[in-house]
A and B are shown apart, each in its own frame.
Chain A
């Protein structure tokens, strides 16, 4: 197994790039949650905004990733550092599943439960934090899970603009026509995706309301 020998030999760099990769995915997912969950809650309560918001997120999703990285390159502060740019692009891609699942989760709360809660005099914020969010949490997390898995894959492309991560190995391997180097990036990336999928999935089941 040449690949593993290569990885073992370069274990420091494998580790470094994996951590870089994690950093890209972690920051962008966090940002996407910070933006996407409130947006999803917003459009669940003001359905008027639901179409434009979801459509925008949808359109972003359809932009080819390499092109999006390219588009963002000339933006002043952002383009100055490749990792900033990569994190923003990954955040944009992660938005759709998070917004959509938050919206679906909140709208999916039994109407009778919401009516009873309002009727008994819960304030809107009590309704949100004590009833709607706890009941929607597993649906929201399944959106986060999709977003993370997509991000782990997409983040490999960020290496094309010099943002680092496991894509470094992949692009280098492609240039060198060396399968070992490609796989040294691809295998850890695949493992990361599986691990993230499993981890968030576990959280999702833990927090599942009865």
Chain B
């Protein structure tokens, strides 16, 4: 998939993370390359969200190291590191007391961009994520769930970060809205070529959006596969996922014929 010569944008080096008596992550090694969408797939508690939060240092590893653009996370300036990484979470976390414009423009503002440039950027981003310009003056509570997550994505893209971390961003949306946002994510990614780490427990979403799928279980990385290889994989866990997702459709289809 990725040209072997380029160095990874994000690199997990033998990372472990434990909290109290629970080993959340152990011996985790993974490289994420420029412009790819790496999906972390696994069930709840498998350590995928933890891995994500280690990248922007919302969490600090117990041992091992994470390098972002070649620089160890330990040596990086925390605030600079985070401002260079877009972060999108399932609950969106829009600021309820800010208009949509202020929500999207917050990082540019604290980075000291001039007002006019922020305004233009916000309009540009609203268009990018498929929202009408008039929405800029509204407040988050006046928006639907799908619109809110579009704003969440726009906010993450505001200062044009090279890296995007997405933690089940479409998990709380209804299936049709989710489908819409997934489709738009693919179109967006074709244009922007961000380095994306995407967390999900939905195999369908992983297959659709990922250029590679990292399968996780109980704090360990099981395997990393391209979507087409995932479907052919003989790995028992991968096979179990395919069975679980296939069964829903099959049983529905069978019910229709019998």
Contacts and interface: CB of A to CB of B under 8 A. Distances in A.
Contacts of B79: 121, 123
Interface stretch (B9-17, B31-39, B89-97, B223-231): B89-97
Interface string B156-169: 10000000010000
A122 B107 CA distance: 8
Contact of A115 (B93, B95, B96): B93
The range of chain B's interface size is 20 to 34
Contacts of B119: none
Contacts of A112: 89, 91-93
B56 interface: yes
A118 B56 CA distance: 9
Contacts of B93: 110, 112-117
A182 B132 CA distance: 66
B257 to A, nearest CB: 44
Nearest to B103: A116
A1 interface: no
Interface in B134-173: 139, 141, 152, 155-156, 165
B3 to A, nearest CB: 30
A207 to B, nearest CB: 10
B110 interface: yes
Nearest to B82: A121
B89 A126 contact: no
Contacts of A130: 95, 106
B110 A122 contact: yes
B139 A210 contact: yes
B58 interface: yes
Q: Majority SS of interface residues in chain B?
A: mixed
A112 B89 CA distance: 8
Contacts of A154: none
A135 B91 contact: no
Nearest to A113: B93
B172 to A, nearest CB: 11
A157 to B, nearest CB: 40
B141 A210 contact: yes
A175 interface: no
Contacts of A114: 93
Nearest to B91: A112
A117 B141 CA distance: 18
A92 B19 CA distance: 39
A67 interface: no
A119 B97 CA distance: 18
A117 B80 CA distance: 14
Interface string B57-98: 010000000000000000000011111111101011111110
B91 to A, nearest CB: 4
Contacts of A134: 97
A112 B167 CA distance: 12
Contacts of A209: 96-97
B80 A121 contact: yes
Interface of A: 110, 112-123, 126, 130-131, 134-135, 209-210
